[in-house]
Amino acid sequence: MLLDQDYIFIIEEGINIPKKKTNRRTIYPFDLMKKGDSFFVPFNKFFTKNGKKYRTSHLSAAASYWGKKHGRSFKVRVDEKDGITGLRCWRVDDNGNSKIIKE
């Protein structure tokens, strides 16, 4: 698709760049977690067999993004609860050490 040849781009000076609008919301309870807390996400509820790898990386990426933005650290691992395989996300100490520390 070509631009309309009659359109003229006007170059302007002194226009401020607006703030970036990032209203990213998460379905995960990162903001409610204290050090040592964790939550479990079953594969059979939120994950499909073909999409498992994507969703696993999605939870890890969401935890990493949220943690960097708010100065917190999380670890995500495959886990099992009541015979159901899924992912567990822990809030760990703010240096990212895997040792679970209670507040």
Kindly tell me if the per-residue pLDDT of 79 is higher than 70. yes
Query: Could you tell me if residue 69 is inside a domain?
Result: yes
Q: Is residue 59 part of a domain?
A: yes
Choice between 99 and 35, residue whose per-residue pLDDT is larger: 35
d(CA 24, CA 66): 10
- Residue 62 is assigned to a structural domain of this protein: yes
pLDDT for 95 equals: 65
C-beta atoms surrounding 92 within 10 Å:
21
Whether 11 is in a domain gets the answer no
Q: Is residue 51 part of a domain?
A: yes
Domain count, the chain: 1
**Is the pLDDT assigned to residue 46 strictly greater than 60?**
no
Average confidence (pLDDT) over 49-78: 81
Determine the pLDDT at residue 44. 62
pLDDT at 74: 94
Average pLDDT, the chain: 78
| Residue span of the structural domain in which 34 resides | 30-92
Distance CA 2, CA 17 (A): 27
Is residue 8 assigned to a domain?
no
Domain-embedded: residue 77: yes
